[in-house]
Amino acid sequence: MKTIYLDNAATTQIDEEVIEEIHSSMKGNFGNPSSVHQFGRKAKSAVETARKRIAKYFNITASEIIFTSGGTEADNLILQNAVLNLKVKRIVTSKIEHHAVLHTCNHLKETYDIIVDYVDLDEFGTVDTNHLEQLLSGSSTKTLVSLMLINNEIGNFLDVEKVVEICKDNNVLFHSDTVQAVGHYPIDLQKTPIDFIVASAHKFHGPKGVGFAYFKKGFGILPMLHGGEQEMGARSSTENVHSILGMEKALSIAVSNLEKDKIYIEGLKKYFISRLKNISDAIQFNGLSSNFTQSSYTILNVRFPYTNDMLLFTLDMAGIAVSGGSACQSGSNKGSHVLVEILNESNTNKTSVRFSFSKYTTKEEIDYVIDCLKK
């Protein structure tokens, strides 16, 4: 059976060069980076070299990078430090953030009695920056804004320059979940001074179980895990040496090919949209996912003009891997909190599917998916 993978916003295929890098490290670099002997020093040197290289891609210093198990841990580490270490009493976020942010904010609210406010969104899921300014203006409460750079379900871009400006004008901290952006778009943290960002290697053709948190210099970090002094005391646990090296390799490849990959994948997305419209004019696109200047080139969230609870299952049986995005989908009884927030009840109950593309996706695969959808 033909198999087609169009769920790259969930995870990506690992690059062959990354696999080779990890394999080489596993064979020849097995020391514990905390050990003082030559095997430990070799591993420590490799980790620190990777940290310096990763930092260079974002125009920051190596000491501002903390390696984690991925984006979720990085978001948790940042948000918990904001409250417990930086004495933040209020978090302003949106209701369509990743659950790594939303659930952590709820936990902090219940545990430490902080205030959580939600910025308004329009019907496309775009953050209302005027409302954000209203929420922050004149407040003396120490505040953190947490808004993702690219929404993982509908692909919307945040107007990050505007948000940075608003946060600076109101003397508040700014955290952005950048998981869907790192490795796909250039991020210069000197030109766009976000205080905290996160990354997860498996979103840009690296290994799973590894990522990082960026803390702007000057912020101390209290660890969530205790029992060691790794990661400059910010995260106890023996470093995942092989995966860290794999992540740096994946990021290096991604950064070297940013424009080429964007042009190729954007072309596939345009082609897919045109073929979908040829099937039916009633097919719609959620959020701004069909807008090429306001959404990620990797994500397209499609709303079909009917309800078919078995569509994901049917596509899977045809060898096509995608993600669901409607209130009732096969295998899920919760549906998408993002679509529930921005769509009316009628449209929420229609079947929505997130298709997400990568450099490994081909035009022939798009044609096969279209043929299956026609059937």
Active site residues: 328
Pull the structure tokens for residue 28.
């020849």
The H or E element spanning position 67 is strand 65-68
**CA quadruple 208, 316, 151, 348: dihedral positive or negative?**
negative
| Number of neighbours of residue 293 by Cβ within 10 angstroms | 6
The order of strands in the sheet holding 173-176 is: 65-68, 211-215, 196-200, 173-176, 143-146, 90-93, 115-118
Packing angle between helix 38-57 and helix 241-256, nearest 10 degrees? 30
Report strand pairing: 90-93 vs 115-118: parallel
| Beta carbons of 268 and 360 less than 8 angstroms apart | no
Secondary structure of residue 311 in the 3-state scheme: helix
The packing angle between helices 241-256 and 16-28, to 10°, is 150
CA–CA gap between residue 303 and residue 251 (Å, rounded): 32
- Tokens describing residue 39: 């095997």
Tell me if 352 sits within 8 A of 133, measured CB to CB: no
User: Residue 329, SS3?
Assistant: strand
The DSSP letter of residue 247 is H
* Cα distance between residue 206 and residue 68, in whole Å: 14
Q: Pull the structure tokens for residue 284.
A: 């719609």
